[in-house]
């Protein structure tokens, strides 16, 4: 088993690391403070090919794989999580369902713009009344002639309301299965379709430079051809998308955890108390050593999950472990990094304050920590 990166993977990591330091870091605090979407940063990420990383060249991608996406997410989140989650949601939740389940016509219509970063797509699964229990979906779609008529609403949908959002995929109840359970299907709804309303952005604790909205569908009509994949396969589709997405969120969490280490080392050397740098105190050194330990082990967990996924092996349990562990240690590291920064850690001008505010959602989004434990336990036969 070899967890060392190939030359190509190391080069990608370096180029994203440079980009995060030179392009993201100088502007992101202002966007975070003003709650504005960093269009120019996103445009440059598109030019770098980041939105096309795990897709084949035939469809306009970079010919890389999911692990390449994870490496990029880790390096971005080491500096800023709003930009990282924008990429994560755009690729693994936005474009991936079209790539995995779409017809050639749907791929030809949507992928070129999504994979170049020129356009973004959202993934509408969560509803105001149901998140963890995704089978509790209330949104309904009824086939009327050659159109789906959609009614319902979705909550917390990332990338769904930017100026460059082209569409959202929406899970909806389309009937009843023979065993009496809900038949769930996924439907593509282009931005601007009559009856599709995007509410103003939420006021969030963190990820404030990312885009999140509630969506309403009121007799919203789209062509029958906008069904994504087979009718009734919605449940299986989003389980697959979320299993993969957990590895990506784990990578993002590792990036945040490592960013906490970076900032803490810098500050521990600069800041003086009692006539010497605070970093000479073993209490501070041990905090930082523990933070590095956590980031390192969480990284190995997501490398392992990604390796299994790319080898075509079962990876559900390992993805849940990676997401659960990485999000837990991200919160730990953010708390300790803030502590090391003392009062300055509570000031928004310091990156660790952003890390602290951005860390909590990692234990909630794309499956809460409780849901990850349920997945692990189920996979162990419990």
d(CA 111, CA 146): 24
**Which position among 42, 371, 372, 375 is part of the footprint of ligand FAD (CB under 6 A)?**
371
Contact between 253 and ligand FAD per CB under 6 A: no
Residue whose CB is less far from ligand FAD, 151 or 368 = 368
> Which residues lie below 8 Å from residue 126, measured CB to CB, with a gap of 6+?
134, 154, 155, 156, 157
**Which position among 84, 91, 188, 361 is part of the footprint of ligand FAD (CB under 6 A)?**
361
Residue of 118, 115, 109 lying closest to 92 (CA atoms): 115
Residue whose CB is less far from ligand FAD, 212 or 226 = 212
CB 150, min distance to ligand FAD, A = 15
Contact between 198 and ligand FAD per CB under 6 A: no
**Which position among 193, 232, 368, 379 is part of the footprint of ligand FAD (CB under 6 A)?**
368
Residue 337 tokens read as: 């990094």
d(CA 49, CA 63): 10
At 322, which helix (H) or strand (E)? helix 316-340
DSSP string over 245-261: HHHHHHHHHHHHHHHHH
Residues 260-299 that bind ligand FAD (CB under 6 A): none
**Which position among 162, 212, 237, 328 is part of the footprint of ligand FAD (CB under 6 A)?**
212
d(CA 63, CA 44): 19
**Which position among 50, 125, 166, 249 is part of the footprint of ligand FAD (CB under 6 A)?**
125
Active site residue 104: no
Q: 74, 75, 263, 366: which is the annotated catalytic residue? A: 366
Tell me which stretch binds ligand FAD (CB under 6 A): 27-35, 100-108, 113-121, 154-162: 154-162
Contact between 96 and ligand FAD per CB under 6 A: no
Residue 22 tokens read as: 């030179």
106 neighbors 228 (Cβ within 8 angstroms) = yes
CB 208, min distance to ligand FAD, A = 10
Task: Give the three-state DSSP class for 365.
Answer: coil
258 neighbors 336 (Cβ within 8 angstroms) = no
Contact between 67 and ligand FAD per CB under 6 A: no
**Which position among 5, 27, 143, 364 is part of the footprint of ligand FAD (CB under 6 A)?**
364
Any idea how long the chain is? 382
Q: What are the residue numbers of the active site?
A: 366
> Rule CB under 6 A: which residues touch ligand FAD?
89, 93, 122-126, 131-132, 156-158, 204, 207, 212, 361, 364-368, 370-371
């Amino acid at each position: 088993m070899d967890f060392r990166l190939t030359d190509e993977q190391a080069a990608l990591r370096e180029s994203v690391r440079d980009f995060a330091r030179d392009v993201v870091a100088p502007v992101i605090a202002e966007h975070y403070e003003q709650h504005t979407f960093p269009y120019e940063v996103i445009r440059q990420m598109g030019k770098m090919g980041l939105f096309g990383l795990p897709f084949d060249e035939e469809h306009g991608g970079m010919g890389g794989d999911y692990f390449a996406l994870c490496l990029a997410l880790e390096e971005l989140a080491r500096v800023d999580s709003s930009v990282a989650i924008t990429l994560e949601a755009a690729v693994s939740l936005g474009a991936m369902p079209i790539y995995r389940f779409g017809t050639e016509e749907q791929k030809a219509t949507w992928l070129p713009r999504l994979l170049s970063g020129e356009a973004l797509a959202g993934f509408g699964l969560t509803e105001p009344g149901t998140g963890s229990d995704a089978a509790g979906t209330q949104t309904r779609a009824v086939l009327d002639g050659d159109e789906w008529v959609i009614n319902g609403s979705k909550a917390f949908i990332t990338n769904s309301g930017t100026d460059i959002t082209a569409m959202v995929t929406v899970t909806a109840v389309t009937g009843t299965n023979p065993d009496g359970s809900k038949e769930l299907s996924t439907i593509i709804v282009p931005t601007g379709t009559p009856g599709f309303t995007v509410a103003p952005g939420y006021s969030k604790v963190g990820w404030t430079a990312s885009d999140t909205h509630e969506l309403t569908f009121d007799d919203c009509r789209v062509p029958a051809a906008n069904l994504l994949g087979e009718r009734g396969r919605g449940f299986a589709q989003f389980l697959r998308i979320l299993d993969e997405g957990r590895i990506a969120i784990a990578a993002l969490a590792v990036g945040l955890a490592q960013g906490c280490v970076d900032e803490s080392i810098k500050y521990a050397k600069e800041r003086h108390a009692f006539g010497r740098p605070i970093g000479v105190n073993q209490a501070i050194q041990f905090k930082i050593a523990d933070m590095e330990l956590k980031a390192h082990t969480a990284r190995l967990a997501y490398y392992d999950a990604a390796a299994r996924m790319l080898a075509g092996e079962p990876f559900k349990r390992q993805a849940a472990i990676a997401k659960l562990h990485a999000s837990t240690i991200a919160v730990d590291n953010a708390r300790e990094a803030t502590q090391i920064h003392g009062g300055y850690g509570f000031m928004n001008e310091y990156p660790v304050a952003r890390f602290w505010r951005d860390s909590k959602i990692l234990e909630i989004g794309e499956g809460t920590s409780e849901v990850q434990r349920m997945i692990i336990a189920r996979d162990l036969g419990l």
